[in-house]
Structure 1
Amino acid sequence: MTGVATPLDAPGRPTSARMQPAALTGTGTLLRFNLRRERVRMSVWLLALTLGTLATAAEYKTLYSAPEERAAAVSSMDSPAALAMTGPRPYLADYTAGAMLGHQMLGFMAVLVGLMSVLTVIRHTRDEEETGRAELVRSTVVGHHAHLAAALAVAVVADLGLALLLALGLTATGIDGVGPGGALLYGLAHAAIGLVFAGVAAITAQLTAHTRGASGLALAAIGVAYVLRASGDVGNDALSWLSPIGWIQRTYVFVDDRWWPLVLCLLLAAATASYGFVLSTRRDVGAGLRPARLGRRTASDALTRPSGFALRLHRAALLGFAAGLCLMGVMYGSILGEAADMVESVEQLQEALKDIGGATVAESFASMVMVVVAVVAAVYVVMAALRPRAEENAGRAEPLLATGLSRSRWLGSHVAVALTGGTALLVLAGLCFGVSGAASAGDGSLVLELTLAAAAYAPALWVTVGVAVLLFGWFPRAGAAAWIVPVYAFLVGYLGPILQLPDGLTNLSPFGHVPRLPAAPMTWTPLLALTAVAAGLIALGIAGFRRRDLDTK
């Protein structure tokens, strides 16, 4: 009917405005849905971080029970290299078990909590857009800011949950110097730094159209924050005040218990999250603010081959782990010359190093550190070996395999990158460890010794790849079980000698069969056996993949 007004055409209420949902509509529903999706992953994160902290606190209580042992710890930690790895010097004034926890663990845990928050926010924002699920959800009555708000809310729940678990757990331990107030401050410091990096992830999720790019930018911010903190604690203190990690360390938890640095973290978290919301209004769904770089008109010869294409997919993770392992090697190597002084009065560590063997304490200490280096490299190879599963789930594997590309060649290309990339990471980390250690200990022969010691763990890495490939080939939904290998290797390989765990537990890990160079003599038989096991597992996994159906989209 012409000229007849309807309720939808009421003056002052444009139709488009009325049909547009409020910016936060649907946030509560998305939050509940995200928490349901995160229930297993979040539980694993929180339990691992809490139990790791409580185990470390109990270890400090056992290792440094006597005043002379704590005095020796102060002496060994009061050096530029040790302060760069731990935290600022004021913690050393009253070095109780609680002060040790704040000094040596707070910076390290900040990186892990930041990683948890970043991955959580990116997974529920940029990853949802990249897979097309966000556009589908937002076609319903869901506000423009609902996805980001729900993602940040999940990170808040995780960070506050961790704070509560740490506060209750540390209070219940009854460790000297750990009171309820300090335990609460320690837990909230973790929550504060987690919120900061959740806000950083809210910004990086708007900058790029790809999940890996958004995660990489946020993780680079964590790395910069850690480096600034380390540089400031060694030299110019102003640099530490440029880092949120430096802020939480300057709470001096279990020493002075200063609360006000947490306010700085909360202000920065609010500012970064708010800026993330602002940036989200300046782009389309699925797009990023940073324009995509124009590629070549034709693909390079390498990209036309399965191995070259697989390397391109793994390049960012490989370079990131290379930088991290090199930095780790340099930092551990910088204190290698002081290893004897660091463990001089710690009976448990002396016994652990004695069991490892070695002509000097430096060699035994280096052998213990090699386990950590190998475990970090194992984290990369698990990620690389499980990348085919991600490609399959995203529906990108099916179009490739519909061509003349065989399943064996496609999976084999990813496996080859995992094998060669993991080995290269070991050699690089060993080289950096050796160069830094040689400078610290004044022994040039350590360069070659530590490089070869790291390379000796390559067969154990290959077995780790084999386990992941076997699970992917035959039991793809159980692929996450491959993470048990590096986690178990760390527990029995690094903590086992300190906690004096039975040798039988070590033998269940492929890393437990590697000779502990440079402290132990080289033996080729276990390395050859591990190589044969890895080859068998990989062949069996590829055979399983050839026989099963793809998860199609």
Structure 2
Amino acid sequence: MRALTGTGVLTRLALRRDRLRLPLWVVGLAALFASIGNSISGLYETDAARLENAQVRADNVVTRAFTGPAPGSSTGALTVSEGLVFTCVLVALMNILLVVRHTRQNEELGRTELVGSAAVGRHAQLTAALLVAGLANVLLIVLSTLALIGMGLPAGGSALAGLALGTVGLAFAGLTAVAAQLTESARAATGLGGLVLATTFLLRAAGDAFGNTASDDITVNPAWPSWISPLGWGQQLRPYGESRVWPLALLLLCSALSVLLAVRLSVHRDVGTGMLPARRGAVRASSAMLKPIGLVWRLQRGLVLGWMVGIAVFGAVFGGIGDQVDDLFSSEKSAQFVRDLGGEGDLVNAYFAGMMGLLAVVVSGFTVQALIRLRSDEENGPTEAVLATSVSRAHWLLAHTLIALLGTALVLAVLGLSTGLAYGAVSNDLTAALGDLLETTLAQLAPTAVLAGFALAAFGLLPRLAATVTWAAFAVCLVIGQFGTLLNLPDGLLDISPYSHLPNMPAESLTVMPIVVMVVLAGALTAVGVAGFRRRSLALGG
């Protein structure tokens, strides 16, 4: 047991570090899943409406590839169809970030070597990270189950839905532990974990898309790709439907085998190294690297490419089901829900206005992620070395800003193109669909620039709190800006989000004045950030 010496202390340390982050993840995910169920119960109040919606989901290949078919026609079954896969993806992401943070990131920053000089066993750090992940997933099971039961859903199906979320999380915690042994950096480990998540999502999507619909026109028996995906296993529990327990064994076995493999690999590598050798760079650097903007692009290009690929998939899915909007939201209440989200008028235009607005706020997560790197580069990266040359602080900050906004514009353009191409293909009106949706997404760059300016102001004035404050602002934009009308929030609160000041395109026409005002505000916030950064000390925040 020497290899586990100090596990308890390291577990308490990890919990201390994540005392705010982890509860927000767990409570937020449980509340998100429960809120989906609450919206379903409000939109489809009759058995006939629920049955029709379940049949439409089973009949549409794109819909069941994206969200999965419903295991039945009850409120709980439609909740599973609408939210289980999406929530499982977020649960997997939580576990990827958590395990990397307490394993590979500690090695990269030198904490593991420092801690290892004391009476700490070789496997203590990995075990502590997995214990924290296990605790988080168990709490998620309990909270999500209680939340669903509190909505009036059957206890058995609620418990199975909670188990699906938690055991999928455990599977990805184990897979991420393996990724942390294979790579040499936290960024690479997170990227490898994300690649595994994307692959498993595509396998499940392919399995559902090519599955066979049963005689009840609701249940879909997936094809074989879904059976090699942890997301597919979680879905095959079929809460509120057949309620099968045995797929839990596949998820637990995946987690156990992954942990054993991670432990085995950790024995055969040195601290700070990975089992996979780092790729050697070019002998000579590009001339673009001589300028700050070239260096920043080199640091951010992988992030930009990843977001472009991911958002293209989402855009194609939302565009591909555009011709099914009238069937999916056939009841008067569900149609009004779409119009509350995206504006009055044609239901299809309201649907695209709501979905593009929501995805645009999600894309601003890339903007925040790109700008928050300023702080990590200041603490542990190249900022000090770059500023030791003739590069000014303002030049370095504006280079990050330009690349972040350029990357955001590219991602938004990909969103508009993929959505427009998919909808144009199914509606046989490619030119109009492509033009309208591309204009809709690119207009979202203005409010995103305001959020970017806020991030820069926080970095310049409150560097130690910059990440927390900026992500909190992102959350406010996501919740208030997109769902504030549905929650009947007062106008003063809705106006906090810059996204609330854009018209609901394409349901409404574009107006120039809000964009001009937001560009001016973004410029003012950026100037505040530059001034603050020029006047404070590096890393310490002045």
TM-score range, shorter chain: over 0.9
Answering whether residue 524 of structure 2 is matched by residue 543 of structure 1, we say no
Letter in 2 for 1:155: A
CA contact (8 A) 1:348 1:498 kept: no
> Shift of residue 355 of structure 1?
7.5
- State the alpha-carbon separation in 2 of the partners of residues 508 and 408 from structure 1: 28
Q: In the alignment, what sits opposite 2:99?
A: 121
Q: In the alignment, what sits opposite 1:96?
A: 74
- State the alpha-carbon separation in 1 of the partners of residues 361 and 172 from structure 2: 25
Answering whether residue 194 of structure 2 is matched by residue 216 of structure 1, we say no
Q: In the alignment, what sits opposite 2:64?
A: 83
> Shift of residue 97 of structure 1?
1.3
Q: In the alignment, what sits opposite 1:457?
A: 444
CA contact (8 A) 1:333 1:435 kept: yes
CA contact (8 A) 1:119 1:215 kept: yes
CA contact (8 A) 2:367 2:452 kept: yes
1:65 to 33, 45, 50: 45
Q: In the alignment, what sits opposite 2:369?
A: 383
**Comparing 349-358 with 236-245, which one deviates more in the overlay?**
349-358
> Shift of residue 88 of structure 1?
3.4
- State the alpha-carbon separation in 2 of the partners of residues 73 and 352 from structure 1: 15
- State the alpha-carbon separation in 1 of the partners of residues 240 and 472 from structure 2: 34
Do the aligned partners of residues 240 and 190 (structure 1) sit closer, same or farther apart at CA in structure 2, a change above 3 Å counting?
same
**Comparing 424-433 with 73-82, which one deviates more in the overlay?**
73-82
Letter in 2 for 1:474: L
Counterparts of 1:168-317 in structure 2, within 5 Å, are 168-174=146-152, 178-236=153-211, 237-317=223-303
- State the alpha-carbon separation in 1 of the partners of residues 489 and 281 from structure 2: 54
TM-score normalized by the length of structure 2: 0.94
- State the alpha-carbon separation in 2 of the partners of residues 427 and 216 from structure 1: 23
Q: In the alignment, what sits opposite 1:13?
A: none
1:417 to 391, 403, 412: 403
CA contact (8 A) 1:26 1:143 kept: yes
Secondary structure of 2:19's counterpart equals helix
2:131 to 140, 147, 153: 153
CA contact (8 A) 2:233 2:251 kept: yes
- State the alpha-carbon separation in 1 of the partners of residues 281 and 149 from structure 2: 56
TM-superposition CA deviations, 1:152-197 (whole Å, max 9, x none): 11110111111111112222222xxx22222221111111100111
Q: Which runs of 5+ in 2 are unaligned?
A: 212-222
> Shift of residue 340 of structure 1?
1.4
CA contact (8 A) 2:338 2:354 kept: no
TM-superposition CA deviations, 1:42-86 (whole Å, max 9, x none): 011012112112222111111111223213312431211111121
Answering whether residue 123 of structure 2 is matched by residue 137 of structure 1, we say no
Letter in 2 for 1:194: G
CA contact (8 A) 2:62 2:320 kept: yes
Q: In the alignment, what sits opposite 2:506?
A: 518
Letter in 1 for 2:27: L
Letter in 2 for 1:411: L
Q: In the alignment, what sits opposite 2:217?
A: none
TM-superposition CA deviations, 1:257-315 (whole Å, max 9, x none): 21110110000110111101111112111011111222222321111211111111112
Counterparts of 1:395-474 in structure 2, within 5 Å, are 396-444=382-430, 445-474=432-461
Letter in 2 for 1:309: L
Secondary structure of 1:241's counterpart equals helix
> Shift of residue 363 of structure 1?
1.1
> Shift of residue 346 of structure 1?
4.3
Letter in 1 for 2:206: S
> Shift of residue 222 of structure 1?
0.6
**Comparing 358-367 with 259-268, which one deviates more in the overlay?**
358-367
Do the aligned partners of residues 360 and 112 (structure 1) sit closer, same or farther apart at CA in structure 2, a change above 3 Å counting?
same
Counterparts of 1:369-380 in structure 2, within 5 Å, are 369-380=355-366
CA contact (8 A) 1:325 1:376 kept: no
Answering whether residue 31 of structure 2 is matched by residue 51 of structure 1, we say yes
Do the aligned partners of residues 483 and 346 (structure 1) sit closer, same or farther apart at CA in structure 2, a change above 3 Å counting?
farther
TM-superposition CA deviations, 1:119-151 (whole Å, max 9, x none): 000001110011111111111111111111111
> Shift of residue 359 of structure 1?
5.1
Secondary structure of 2:389's counterpart equals coil
Provide the aligned C-alpha RMSD in A.
1.7
Q: In the alignment, what sits opposite 2:19?
A: 39
What count of residue pairs does the alignment treat as equivalent? 527
**Comparing 494-503 with 294-303, which one deviates more in the overlay?**
494-503
CA contact (8 A) 1:358 1:518 kept: no
2:483 to 479, 485, 495: 495
TM-score normalized by the length of structure 1: 0.92
CA contact (8 A) 1:385 1:468 kept: yes
Q: In the alignment, what sits opposite 2:86?
A: 108
Q: In the alignment, what sits opposite 1:10?
A: none
1:481 to 461, 469, 475: 469
Do the aligned partners of residues 76 and 44 (structure 1) sit closer, same or farther apart at CA in structure 2, a change above 3 Å counting?
same
Letter in 2 for 1:510: P
> Shift of residue 240 of structure 1?
0.7
Secondary structure of 2:509's counterpart equals coil
Instruction: Report percent identity of matched pairs.
Output: 37
CA contact (8 A) 1:68 1:345 kept: no
- State the alpha-carbon separation in 2 of the partners of residues 478 and 346 from structure 1: 46
- State the alpha-carbon separation in 1 of the partners of residues 137 and 483 from structure 2: 26
2:5 to 20, 25, 36: 25
Q: In the alignment, what sits opposite 2:218?
A: none
